[in-house]
Amino acid sequence: MFKQILISAAAALAAFNASADIPAYLDSSRDIEERVEDALSRMTTAEKVAILHAQSKFSSPGVARLGIRGLWTTDGPHGIRPEVLWDEWDQAGWTNDSCVAFPALTCLAATWNPEMSALYGRSIGEEALYRGKDVLLGPGVNIYRTPLNGRNFEYMGEDPYLASRMVVPYVKGVQDCGVAACVKHYALNNQEVNRHTTNVIVDDRALYEIYLPAFKAAVQEGGAWSIMGAYNYYQDQHLCHNQRMLNDILKGEWGFDGVVISDWGGTHDTAQAIINGLDLEFGSWTNGLSNGSSNAYDNYYLARPYLDMLAKGEADPKTLDDKARRVLRLIFRTSMNTAKPFGSLCSEAHYEAARRIGAEGIVLLKNDKGLLPLPSTPGKAARVLVVGENALKMMTVGGGSSSLKVQREVSPLDGIRAAAPEGMTVDFARGYVGDVTGEYNGVTSGQDLSESRGADELIAEAVAKAREADYVIFVGGLNKSAGQDCEDADRASLSLPYGQDEVISALAKANPSLVVVNVSGNAVAMPWVKQVPAILQAWFLGSEAGNSIADILFGKVNPSGKLPMTFPVKLEDVAAHAIGEYPGVKRPGEDIWDEKYNEGILVGYRWHDTRKIKPLFPFGHGLSYTTFAYGKPAADRREMAAGETMTITVAVTNTGDREGQETVQLYITDVKAPVERPAKELKGFRKVSVAPGETKEVTFTITPDDLAYFDADTHSWTSHPGKYQAHMASSSADIAATVPFTLK
């Protein structure tokens, strides 16, 4: 009976839609562009302006008179942020706004697996959809230029090609749910110190080769519906209203048809916002809205001041129509989209996705004498000691706008205890005291991490217990406190905080079976690297952190992560600190810091390889519990002309005793370049799963475009004839085979 009622209702609605005179903008069967133009033709000037700015902390209005809904936005790239009050940053006090925290984007990039990125995008998109959000403020794809950047954990590493391949499936996955991805922070937002007052000076070649490709891929391949401007300056203009970046490049060269959204507090001038490409203004601190208290949205730069300029003839109505058209297009793609699927929140499928992505992104940096995996056979007695505050501290709370309120978070200690086989005992020692607080924006972890003992007593306890253990697992690194992996400040140094180096060295002397699990979104110095036989880079892994780590430690999952950034030995080995001008030079008499990117295109491994600086761990590095052998590559040609392609196939054999995944990386060297070029550049990668004794072939296709560099003089991509080399590699420093070839 109920089914018959539904069928009758659907038939009646279809008949009504077919016969009624529905305005085009309300008819979901019409083309979006037709709906946009129809709605625009019915709107008053005041209504057009009204949809260009916020009406609350995280929402913007629609057109109530026409039945057009507004937009609800949400942080962030790793999970759906809890609700705040209408006009305030304070918590709204909801009890049903917890979420699944997915691993930070450094971890996603470390999977080197676009399938994981698609899974991530779909999963977080479903959570946003369930919570009624139209715009997800993420993902972030700013380039990892310095390991001091407090916000690096939100981004996808140092290489533009890797970030480009990983951002596209994320964007598509989110938008398949009818939720807009808002790719951020466009662009050159490579540090948090002085982020509102830094003017980046970078040459066009570095801009186009290093800092723009991931944004371009998100727009042209991912079809991103929105972009968030950055706080900093470029060419003395704020990047939330920047002629070159927004109008010339984004909307001009790339044909972006979506909405440019300001970062919260990133808009500074009405006239500049109008003419220099901003479409939707959020979070401004203008008259009457001091630091976010209510209520003066009509005083936003793109509100009453814009109307006043239009009334005086000081603003072009065509520019207003372009902005309103873009916002309407976003509305019809999201909040007015009647074909959206159903969302889901805190589902077991999402927890499983978080766990799987986390485990696949963990990087086995070192594993001397096969210390890992830990024994997992029931009945075999073993004593494991876990040491370190990060073994129990919640990491989903803090870090800035990506801070979350989670339904649950499994700590590394709890994950290890749950995975320990029968007969294994797991003890704990604090080892050091870091940040005992656990609160951000009204969300509290509920943990009591207070400690009355001093550093010497804590180390003594850990060492004494370590001497009695069969295995010691130190879980440390950074946290999401200010000055570490956190928005609005950079790290003070490359070193581990809270005296952890001393703790690790003492543990290494007490027990040779030591595993260090570094939890961070950034590279850290490791003066003890030769003392420690096994090291895992574990990132911020979200709700399933402890389970993902335990899956790797006990061998349930064979590690396959690869580093998305170079780990330098010391800070002076990083180009931004060796020859760049980090954190900038203050202009006399002005609150502006000019920062020249003197290193140009030589960022990350490009700098280390070209200058022959040995890293602590190279870009692309990551070990496995099995071993792989690369065969001799075969190429279908050794000469290539314009319009032609070249394919190279290499066989990968699993020479160990357990199944594993290997990421084969393709790097290109320009042997005799007429301009400065890096020693090698990543131009392809493939991740394959190989069973013991099995051989799989991996094929890459190379085109002349893969050999091109950006010629700033002609403003074009140029490939020059000459000799090149294609390298099959397991990291930027581990070349398995090289194929020379010529571009005619």
Kindly report the average pLDDT of the chain as a whole number. Answer: 95
pLDDT band at 89 (very low <50, low <70, confident <90, very high): confident
Which pTM value belongs to this model? 0.96
Q: What is the amino acid identity at position 690?
A: V
Type and span of the H or E element at 709: strand 709-711
263 is catalytic: yes
Helix axes 160-175, 114-130, angle to 10 degrees: 40
First to last CA, the chain: 73
SS3 351: helix
What single letter denotes the amino acid at residue 442?
A: G
Cα separation of 458 and 476, whole Å? 14
Q: CB neighbours of 714 closer than 8 A, spacing ≥ 6?
A: none
pLDDT for 380 equals 78
Give the C-alpha separation, 722 to 482, whole Å. Answer: 50
> Is-contact 635 646, C-beta < 8 A?
yes
Task: Look at residue 603 and tell me whether its pLDDT is greater than 50.
Answer: yes
DSSP 3-state of 742: strand
The answer, yes or no, to whether residue 447 has pLDDT greater than 80, is yes
Residues 69, 74, 80, 83, Cα dihedral to 10° = -80
Q: Are 647 and 699 in contact (CB under 8 A)?
A: yes
318 φ, ψ (degrees, to nearest 5): -65, -35
- The pLDDT value given to residue 15: 43
Cβ proximity of 605 and 729 under 8 Å: no
669-687 CB burial, b ≥16 within 10 A, e <16? bbeeeeeebbbbbbbbbbb
Angstrom distance (rounded) from CA 267 to CA 285: 9
- From the list 216, 224, 278, the residue with the least C-alpha distance to 247 is 278
Supply the pLDDT for residue 381. Answer: 85
Give the model confidence (pLDDT) of 159-218 as tens digits.
Answer: 999 999 999 999 999 999 999 999 999 999 999 999 999 999 999 999 999 999 999 999
Q: What is the mean pLDDT of residues 251-271?
A: 97
Whether 475 shows a pLDDT value over 90: the answer reads yes
Using an 8 Å Cβ cutoff, are 442 and 398 in contact? no
Mean pLDDT along residues 482-510: 97
pLDDT at residue 650 above 80? Answer: yes
Q: Is the pLDDT of residue 6 over 70?
A: no
Supply the Cα-derived Rg of the chain in whole angstroms.
27
Tokens of 124: 């977080």
Which domains occur in the chain, in start order? 2-333 (3.20.20.300), 362-557 (3.40.50.1700), 624-743 (2.60.40.10)
Contact 232, 202 (CB under 8 A): no
Q: Which letter, b or e, does each residue of 273-304 get, where b requires 16 or more Cβ atoms within 10 Å of its Cβ? A: bbebbbbbbbbbbbeebeebeeebbbebbbbb
Task: Report pLDDT digits (tens) over 636-649.
Answer: 999 999 899 999 99
Whether 2 has a pLDDT exceeding 50, the answer reads no
Confidence of residue 88 (pLDDT cuts 50, 70, 90): confident
**Cβ neighbour number for residue 348 with a 10 Å cutoff:** 9
Which H helix or E strand runs over 324? helix 317-333
Taking only the tens place, the pLDDT of each residue in 501-534 is 999 999 999 999 999 999 999 999 999 999 999 9
**Alpha-carbon dihedral sign for residues 21, 25, 29, 30:** positive
Spatial distance between the Cα atoms of 61 and 280, rounded to a whole number of angstroms = 11
Residues in a beta bridge with 517: 475, 536
Largest Cα–Cα distance in the chain? Answer: 84
Per cent of the chain over pLDDT 70 is: 96
Per-residue pLDDT of 325-334, as tens digits, reads 999 999 999 9
CA-wise closest residue to 438 among 466, 464, 411? 411
Least Cα distance to 622 among 688, 726, 735, 536 occurs for: 536
Q: On the CB side of 82, how many CA atoms lie within 13 Å of its CA?
A: 27
Assign residue 576 a region: left if phi > 0, alpha if psi is -120 to 50, beta otherwise? alpha
Q: What is the DSSP string of 633-659?
A: -EES-SEE-TT--EEEEEEEEE-SSS-
Mean pLDDT of 560-577: 98
Name the pairing type of β-strands 233-234 and 237-238: antiparallel
Task: Report whether pLDDT(292) > 70.
Answer: no
Question: Does 726 score more than 70 pLDDT?
Answer: yes
Question: What's residue 1's pLDDT?
Answer: 37
- The predicted model gives 699-715 an average pLDDT of 97
* 3-state class (DSSP) for residue 488: coil
Average confidence (pLDDT) over 337-365:
97
Q: How far apart are CA 155 and CA 149, in angstroms?
A: 10
Question: Among residues 263, 490, 551, 706, which one is catalytic?
Answer: 263
pLDDT at 132: 97
The SS3 of residue 663 is strand
Is residue 566 within 8 Å of 733, Cβ to Cβ?
Answer: no
Among 271-280, 294-303, 322-331, 345-354, the minimum mean pLDDT is found in: 294-303
Contact indicator for 226, 180 with CB cutoff of 8 Å: yes
Sorting pLDDT into bands at 50, 70 and 90, what band is 7? Answer: very low
- pLDDT above 90 coverage of the chain, percent: 93
- Residue 287 scores a pLDDT above 60: no
Sign of CA dihedral 86, 90, 93, 94: positive
Is residue 563 over pLDDT 70?
A: yes
**Would the pLDDT of 224 be above 80?**
yes
Predicted confidence band at 13 (pLDDT cuts at 50, 70, 90)?
very low
Asked whether 346 and 99 are in contact (CB, 8 A), the reply is: yes
pLDDT in tens, 21-56: 899 999 999 999 999 999 999 999 999 999 999 999
Check residue 20 and give its pLDDT. Answer: 59
For residue 285, the model assigns a pLDDT of 74
Q: Is 379 exposed, middle or buried, given 0-12, 13-18 or 19+ CB atoms closer than 10 A? A: exposed
Provide the 3-class DSSP secondary structure of residue 330: helix
Task: Evaluate if residue 278 carries a pLDDT over 90.
Answer: yes
> Which helix (H) or strand (E) covers residue 272, if one does?
helix 270-275
Q: Which two tokens stand for residue 255?
A: 């044909």
Q: How confident is the model at residue 286 (pLDDT cuts 50, 70, 90)?
A: low
3-state SS assignment for residue 595: strand
For residue range 120-130, what is the model confidence (pLDDT) as tens digits?
999 999 999 99
* Cβ atoms within 10 Å, residue 450: 8
